[in-house]
Amino acid sequence: MKKCFICLCVLAMGTVVFAEGKDQAESQKEKPDYRSFVVNAWLVKVDAEALYKSGVKPLSEKEKENVSIMNLLWCLGEPNSGKVIISAETKAGCNEEGETSFKMTKYFKVVREGNLFDVMRLDNSVRFTTQLWMSDDKKHIRLEYSFNTNTFDEDEAQKSGLQPSTISMNNTSVTYVMPGKPVIASHTQIEDDMFFLVLMAEVVE
């Protein structure tokens, strides 16, 4: 999942090209937009110290020292510095709602004392809904989205044999994105862990 996220972001950032508007098109009657829009969402977890090593400085007024997609990619490329926790994708037409939802149940052996243990059930779920339109300048996409997930740290459970930490996120907002360019929609820090919701919308002819 992490390699897929890195490849998509690198490819998108290096190949985004936008066509210039034509004067002739302004004189023609606007035709219905039958194109589809694919929206990807990634919930990325990175270590705060690693993020600072990548060049980020908290509360900086300099844009180059704020968190960017490149900083996240740097962390994902470093051992034990970042990972993609959840990803989801929707596809829908213009001004239509896209939705994807998924739920997976896993069972863990939780050690109590000696040879005694409990079997614990945990649900891993995500629900991602989107609705979007092309903006008046035809260069941006107005994206309304809702991203809800409840997951857990499986690596932590396997290593310690204890009950894993759970992660819940509910984010609903409106943002403007450029087609094919990943953006950080929101982020949260809890102690040394930082969580970023990355979105990317693409137009499919």
pLDDT in tens, 57-77: 877 778 778 899 999 999 999
- pTM for this one? 0.78
How far is 195 from 192, CA to CA, in rounded Å? 10
- Per-residue pLDDT at 106 exceeds 60: yes
- What is the C-alpha radius of gyration for the chain, rounded to an integer number of angstroms? 20
Which residue, among 79, 9, 75, has the nearest Cα to 42 in the 3D structure?
9
Contact 69/8 with Cβ under 8 angstroms? Answer: no
- Per-residue pLDDT at 19 exceeds 70: no
Average pLDDT estimate for 169-178 = 94
Amino acid identity, position 173: S
In a 13 Å sphere around the CA of 165, the CA atoms on its Cβ side amount to 8
At 191, list the tokens.
Answer: 């102690």
- Residues in contact with 77: Cβ distance below 8 Å, sequence separation at least 6, in sequence order: 6
Q: What is the pLDDT of residue 11?
A: 63
- Phi-psi bin for 17: left (phi > 0), alpha (psi -120 to 50), beta? beta
pLDDT in tens, 74-101: 999 999 899 999 999 999 998 899 999 9
pLDDT in tens, 152-163: 877 766 666 666
